[in-house]
Each structure stands twice: as structure tokens, then as C-alpha cells.
Chain A
Amino acid sequence: DVKVTQSSRYLVKRTGEKVFLECVQDMDHENMFWYRQDPGLGLRLIYFSYDVKMKEKGDIPEGYSVSREKKERFSLILESASTNQTSMYLCASSTTGNYGYTFGSGTRLTVV
């Protein structure tokens, strides 16, 4: 089974801190995605990557950046955390073709 691992299940950070959320997948998937999920708003795409060192903005990239130095790892960076970035963050990966997406178990981030 494809495994997508997110480094932390729960995180509490202070306003203004730089926050790193890590995601690692073990099945050589080309594509990786970062979403945030908020009640009533569903999953919203922050950034995605179709290859190493490649990144593209999703629907809500403001306040975030990403890094993909290795194929298996896709990091989400909150440059200066703010309270409105309190959310559930979900990483997903997929291979090319119509096979769907596999999610990590999520990181629930609280910014205080």
C-alpha cells in the first residue's frame, strides 16, 4: 500500500513563527499536493508539484511556500504563521494516470 506520512499529527505554534509541515511518500509518486480543510469550506488546494524542484500555486497560496528537493518529500512552509492559518493540513500524492490520490493522516495546526 502507498503510504503518505505527515510528520506531525498535532502542532501548536505562535503567531509569527516559521512553520514547516513535512510530507513523505514511499511509492515513487510523481505528483504531490498540499490542501487545507476547514469546516464548511472543504479541501482547498494550496500548492502542488508534478516533479522534483517544480511547484505550482493552487487556489490559496498566499502566506505559504513549498519545497520539493527530493521526489518523495514535499514540504509546506508557513513563512510567518497567523491565526487564520489554524486548520487541518492534508498532503496527498498520486502517480500519472487515473488512479486517484492517497492522503496522509493530516496535521492539525493551531496558531495562537
Chain B
Amino acid sequence: RKEVEQDPGPFNVPEGATVAFNCTYSNSASQSFFWYRQDCRKEPKLLMSVYSSGNEDGRFTAQLNRASQYISLLIRDSKLSDSATYLCVVNMASGGSYIPTFGRGTSLIVHP
């Protein structure tokens, strides 16, 4: 069982739609969480960190639910340029250190 799980999609939505992705993790000692965006044939880039209290950056909102061990990303008013793969990243506790573990990504396609 993979430690970080995401629905691979693709999520196919029209411009202006609201879309949400979830990501579940198995290690309850996980310390920190991030959402990354990866465009085709490019490297992943940090979209936003995820804080316990939830955080918002423009059209993007990230939430953490430690009790249920999942994080979420909400995108409002989707743009064509939001089309990409969204990776969740969980820092997993391992022998006193923390190792970043990536989900396999959720593909988003925004169409006109």
C-alpha cells in the first residue's frame, strides 16, 4: 500500500469551475505537507504549503485534516492555465529524520 495516495484523474472541468483534490497519507507522525504543480515534461514546482489551520492563496485553498489523515486542494474559478498534474507531498517521519514522499499526482484538464 502506497504511503501517499491520490486519485490520478484526469479531472476534466470547464473554465470557471471549482475543483477539489484529496490526498491521503498513512503515517500519522507526518510533519509537514505541500502541494506541487507539474507541467508536462517539466519539474515539479511548489504551489503551496499546507498548514493545520488551512491556508489560501488567491484561487487556491489547502486544508489539512490530521484526524482523517488527508490534505485537500481546492481550485476556484479554474483557468486554462491551471491544466497540470498536482502532486501532494508529505514529510514522513523516518528514524528521526523526515523524508518527502510524493503522491503519484492528479491530472487536471481545464477546457474552454
Q: Which residues of A contact B105 (CB under 8 A)?
A: 42
Among A77-110, those with CB < 8 Å from B are 90, 92, 94, 98-106
Report which of A42, A90, A99 forms a contact with B43, defined as CB distance below 8 A. A90
If over half of B's interface residues share one DSSP class (helix, strand or loop), that class is named, otherwise mixed; here it is strand
Taking Cβ atoms with an 8 Å cutoff, the residues of B that contact A are: 31-32, 34, 42-46, 49, 87, 89, 91, 97, 99-105
Q: Which residues of B contact A50 (CB under 8 A)?
A: 97
A54 to chain B, nearest CB (A): 10
B100 pairs with A105, CB closer than 8 A: no
Question: Please, how many residues of chain A have a CB less than 8 angstroms from a CB on the other chain?
Answer: 23
Q: Which residues of A contact B43 (CB under 8 A)?
A: 90, 103-106
Q: Which of B32, B44, B103 has the most CB of A within 10 A?
A: B44
- CB contacts between A and B, total, < 8 Å: 45
Among A32-74, those with CB < 8 Å from B are 33, 35, 40-43, 45, 48, 50, 56, 58
B46 pairs with A40, CB closer than 8 A: no
Taking Cβ atoms with an 8 Å cutoff, the residues of A that contact B are: 33, 35, 40-43, 45, 48, 50, 56, 58, 90, 92, 94, 98-106
Q: Which residues of A contact B31 (CB under 8 A)?
A: 98
Q: Which residues of B contact A42 (CB under 8 A)?
A: 87, 102-105
